[in-house]
């Protein structure tokens, strides 16, 4: 059998070559997977974090409009740098239409290395809507690992619970 420039005289040799190539590709893939890129250090960023003060559910065809399930949201700002503090300078909350609702920080706060700062949006605050978001700005005196910023959304009804997370992503400030 012939493959491009290589011609095999017997099936046993062809099988050994195929096995070798398969193992070589598998080894290369595993090695490449384990070689994650080093995180980029930064002196600060603006982060966009989606928030759901409610989610829509139901069958709009039968009831004309879907129903809203109100949710609470816990925003967790985690300093992932093991050696440097970061300073969160702003945490602005916006509604579905892009209107600023609230600045959650009265003054900038410093988060120690590996420390966390939390913000909470209660279930009773549905002003943000299903497309609410935060713009969170942070800075550091020296290049630091970017914080991990997530929101845990929850609703507990008796013995049932709905929880999910959203994760912030960097955006360019204009």
Architecture of domain 41-171: Sandwich (2.60)
What pLDDT, on the 0 to 100 scale, is given for residue 2? Answer: 47
pLDDT at 4 over 70: no
Q: Where are the domains of the chain?
A: 2-34, 41-171
Task: List the structure tokens of 86.
Answer: 């970061």
Q: Are 48 and 168 in contact (CB under 8 A)?
A: yes
pLDDT tens by residue, 151-161: 999 998 888 88
Where is average pLDDT lowest: 132-141, 142-151, 164-173? 164-173
What is the pLDDT of the chain when averaged over all its residues?
86
Task: List the structure tokens of 55.
Answer: 């989610």
What pLDDT, on the 0 to 100 scale, is given for residue 78? Answer: 98
């Amino acid at each position: 059998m012939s493959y491009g420039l290589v011609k095999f005289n017997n099936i046993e040799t062809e099988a050994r070559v195929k096995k070798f190539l398969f193992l070589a590709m598998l080894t290369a893939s595993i090695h490449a997977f384990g070689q994650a890129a080093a995180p980029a250090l930064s002196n600060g960023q603006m982060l966009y974090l989606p928030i759901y003060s409610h989610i829509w559910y139901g069958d709009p065809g039968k009831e004309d409009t879907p129903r809203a399930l109100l949710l609470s949201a816990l925003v967790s700002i985690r300093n992932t740098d093991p050696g440097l503090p970061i300073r969160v300078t702003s945490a602005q909350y916006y509604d579905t239409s892009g209107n600023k609702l609230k600045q959650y920080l009265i003054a900038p706060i410093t988060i120690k290395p590996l420390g966390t700062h939390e913000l909470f949006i209660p279930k009773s605050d549905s002003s943000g809507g299903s497309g609410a978001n935060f713009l969170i700005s942070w800075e550091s005196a020296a290049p630091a690992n970017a914080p991990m910023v997530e929101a845990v959304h929850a609703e507990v009804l008796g013995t049932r619970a709905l929880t999910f997370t959203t994760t912030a992503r960097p955006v360019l400030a204009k």
